[in-house]
Amino acid sequence: AQIAKSAAVSTRTLFNHFPTKEALFDHMVDIVIKQTGAITSAPYDPSLPVRDQLIAALRDYISAITDDAYMRLNRMVMSEYLRDQELAHRIFAHAEMNTNPLRGIIEAAIAANVLKDVDPQYATDLLSGPAIRLFFWPQFLVGTEVSQDAQTVYEDSVDMFLARFEKKAY
List pLDDT tens digits, range 159-168.
999 999 999 8
Q: What pLDDT score does 45 carry?
A: 97
Spans of the chain below 70 pLDDT:
32-33, 35-38, 90-99, 170
Say what the pTM is: 0.78
Q: 114, 130, 168, 136: which is closest to 62 by C-alpha?
A: 136
